């Protein structure tokens, strides 16, 4: 009789632990997903800045570097849309990083163009806006990466790793800085 009570008590404790651990993993995952929203909003400022300042004219006559910058911004916007749906997916976040890096490279290419009769290819005010956005993105990126780190650490701890395996909770990918 006492053996079955011990087994039931052990089963109850195990079940209580499993439910609590799963809720903790779910909470950490939700916090990581929620932390992507401010980062996404800040990333959107890059796209808006490029679209508002480089999409006005006829793209057929735009300098190649500016056309490339606009194309990179549109690609980055597309990658952001996918990342909004899957903010913890490793492949999606790597694609977003690649698009982000391409946008930064295109911006640097436009910035390094020699001035023409109309003046600098990038006015100082635009460069300052870009740098301000980069600071805001850095803050949001840090918060997102901290949440992802907490989630990744939780799913790799023993014995929660068994629940992560059981419910197919995969490690998330941090967003690296290209500034």
Instruction: Identify any residues that bridge with 119 across adjacent strands, giving them in sequence order.
Output: 116
Q: Would the pLDDT of 179 be above 60?
A: no
Q: Model confidence at 11, in pLDDT bands (50, 70, 90)?
A: confident
**Packing angle of the helix pair 64-85, 2-54 (nearest 10 deg):** 160
| pLDDT average, residue stretch 123-133 | 93
Alpha-carbon gap, residue 6 to 13, rounded angstroms: 10
Alpha-carbon gap, residue 119 to 143, rounded angstroms: 39
Q: Model confidence at 122, in pLDDT bands (50, 70, 90)?
A: confident
Using CA atoms of 91, 95, 97, 100 in order, give the dihedral in degrees to the nearest 10: -160
């Amino acid at each position: 009789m006492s053996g079955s009570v011990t087994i039931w008590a052990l089963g109850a404790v195990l079940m209580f632990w499993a439910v609590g651990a799963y809720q903790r993993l779910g909470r950490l995952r939700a916090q990581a997903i929620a932390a992507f929203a401010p980062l996404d909003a800040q990333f959107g400022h890059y796209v808006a800045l490029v679209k508002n300042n480089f999409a006005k004219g006829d793209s057929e006559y735009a300098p190649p570097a500016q056309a490339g910058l606009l194309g990179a911004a549109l690609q980055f916007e597309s990658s952001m849309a996918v990342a909004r749906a899957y903010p913890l997916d490793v492949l999606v976040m790597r694609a977003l990083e690649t698009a982000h890096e391409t946008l930064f490279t295109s911006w640097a290419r436009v910035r390094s163009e020699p001035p023409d009769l109309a003046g600098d290819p990038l006015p100082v005010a635009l460069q300052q806006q870009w740098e301000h956005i980069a600071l805001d993105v850095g803050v949001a990126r840090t918060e997102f990466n901290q949440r992802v780190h907490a989630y990744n650490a939780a799913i790799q701890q023993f014995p929660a790793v068994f629940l992560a395996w059981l419910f197919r909770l995969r490690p998330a990918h941090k967003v690296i800085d290209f500034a």
